Amino acid sequence: MKIGIASDHGGFELRNLLKQRLLELQFEVVDFGNENYNPNDDFPDYVIPLANAVVNRTIDRGIAVCGSGVGACIAANKIHGTRAGLIHDCFSARQGVEDDDMNILCLGGRVIGAEAAWEITKTFLKATFSSIERHKRRLHKIYMFENHFFG
């Protein structure tokens, strides 16, 4: 599985830790930055290219980290076709993929511990979309809304 990962300065440390652990588990990781800690960087500069890569299927799933995770989630969801969720627990990570086909995990580098973030990340990556009819129906409604308003 090819995983994209991105962060601003608020998620820099957590992103680096998650990236290292993903590499240790033999995941292919595409790092969208930031390469160096810069307290003046902006999360959209890294999260939007990550979200585009998910939508264009050059990566399978994405992980976006900023200080709270909120900004990264907002930015990712601006890209047509992304289904990003700000997650703080394993249940939501699993259900977000199984029920809602979530393709980008958003985390807050300043609000969640490293071990909890790692468990959530593993859960997110192990989960698969259930393809249950009611879940497909709901996703279709979202898809139709996106296409109506955003083409």
- Catalytic residues, by residue number, are 66
The two three-digit tokens of residue 143, written as one number: 């898809």
d(CA 7, CA 107): 10
Task: Decide: helix, strand or coil at residue 4.
Answer: strand
Give which of 105, 111, 81 is closest to 93, Cα–Cα.
105
Query: Could you tell me the two tokens for 91?
Result: 């249940």
DSSP character for 58? Answer: S
Helices 114-126 and 12-24: angle between axes, nearest 10 degrees: 50
Tokens of 79: 């890209």
